[in-house]
Amino acid sequence: MEFLGNEMITVDGGNLKIDGHDASKLASTYGTPLYVMSETQTVKNFTRYVESFKEYSEKTGKEFIISFAYKANTNLAVTRLLSKLGCGADIVSAGELYIAKLSDVPSEKIVFNGNCKLKEEIKMGIEAEIRAFNVDSISELVLINETAKEMGKIANVAFRVNPNVDAKTHPKISTGMKKNKFGLDIESGIALETIKMAEKMENVKIVGIHCHIGSQLTYISPFVEEARKIMDFVVLLKNEGIKIRDVNLGGGLGIPYDKNTKIPVQKDLSKAVLDVIYEYEGKIELPNLILEPGRSLVATAGVLLGTVEHVKETPVAKWVMIDAGMNDMMRPAIYESYHEITPCTIRAEKEVVSVAGGLCESSDVFGKDREISKMEVKDTVAILDVGAYGISMANNYNSRGKPAMILTNEKEVSLIRARETLADLISKDIVPNHLL
């Protein structure tokens, strides 16, 4: 049995193992629902990016920085692991900046994204001396400049531009087209106008250009189109007398959620992108290069374990009900996304079933009409590729606590997130005196 992209998963005697640890035993020891994050897989995923792009620094003497997209997974053990490997942080909130600093991420590897930065967040970023705020609008640029002036500081700014590139991904995670809310439009001249405004401001320093065209990209061609449009824009800026230090190309590759989907590998991405950038040698001074992968660093490293509580047959389907729900992992409910599902005790007999959670929502379904090894009540079930946008999107809908999380490697298992209790659910609620 092959689990594409999940090298830490093996099957031994019909039992699913994660980094060599029996998945059913992990479920029994730590309870379910349970997130399992593989340290081994995360290291492999990160190392492949480093190895694929290292030639850029070797050839040009410029920096290549990987800044992990914290929105994908902000568990402190995961972010500290990546920081220890040399990874930076792509953040979009004060909370993510707080976690990045707790994770010992160097400030020169932190970039602040998002299309609606708040003044308090900007102050935190300036105080932390981050590498750059990726400016998303003229009003945001004005706010950054005013805030830096009040603090007696200079804020580094890059400019998120919208190149109108179709990322060929799900509409809800496409970010680089004119109709999307992100970035400063290149074609209309708004991006250039905004940068020229920044030139005249006393409390911002122009350091880079940023672009992010979408998530879960499964083709190389959008990256190539993006890189060429960004580099053309850098040449235009040079002709206007504006030098760009950093080019940030945004997110990384998608992952093979479906084994029938062919995904380019990191070496395919680096060759295609670097070939474009090298074309501009001699036209401009080549920039430092930044990439912001999230999903492709941690998604394949994550598994959500649940327990089969009930099996029910209707006239049109056989339902397997598990104790994990859309509150634990929302992607199938909000994106109609596909995740491989397998029992952790794999039997020869197969059947077609739909796997669902127990929330009072018809969309609380992890997979419909899947041909899967036969499952029985009390079996442990594994939902794969949930290391990105799994625990980070988890919530308390139906007054359910968020699940526990463990970190595995070949030697040990560590609890890295405690399971929320019933008391945790109301810990922030306040009842006024007249209702006591």
Active-site residues, by number, are 360
Per the annotation, does 171 bind a ligand? no
Per the annotation, does 292 bind a ligand? yes
Per the annotation, does 251 bind a ligand? no
Helices (H), ranges, 279-330: 295-298
Give the C-alpha separation, 224 to 275, whole Å: 9
**Do 133 and 144 form a contact (C-beta atoms < 8 A)?**
yes
Element (H, E) at 15: strand 15-18
> What's the DSSP call for residue 217?
B
> What's the DSSP call for residue 187?
T
**Do 288 and 63 form a contact (C-beta atoms < 8 A)?**
yes
Per the annotation, does 419 bind a ligand? no
Per the annotation, does 219 bind a ligand? no
**Do 255 and 293 form a contact (C-beta atoms < 8 A)?**
no
Per the annotation, does 293 bind a ligand? yes
Give the C-alpha separation, 289 to 88, whole Å: 13
Per the annotation, does 294 bind a ligand? yes
Spatial CA neighbour of 211 closest among 193, 231, 197, 196: 231
Per the annotation, does 331 bind a ligand? yes
Give the C-alpha separation, 270 to 278, whole Å: 12
Per the annotation, does 70 bind a ligand? no
Question: Residue 95 phi/psi, 5° resolution?
Answer: -60, -40
Spatial CA neighbour of 198 closest among 254, 130, 142, 260: 142
Give the C-alpha separation, 169 to 212, whole Å: 13
- Tell me whether residue 41 is exposed, middle or buried, using C-beta atoms within 10 angstroms of its C-beta: 0 to 12, 13 to 18, 19 or more: buried
Which residue positions form the known binding site? 252, 292-295, 331, 335, 361, 389
Which residue positions form the known binding site for substrate? 295, 331, 335, 361, 389
Which residue positions form the known binding site for pyridoxal 5'-phosphate? 252, 292-295, 389
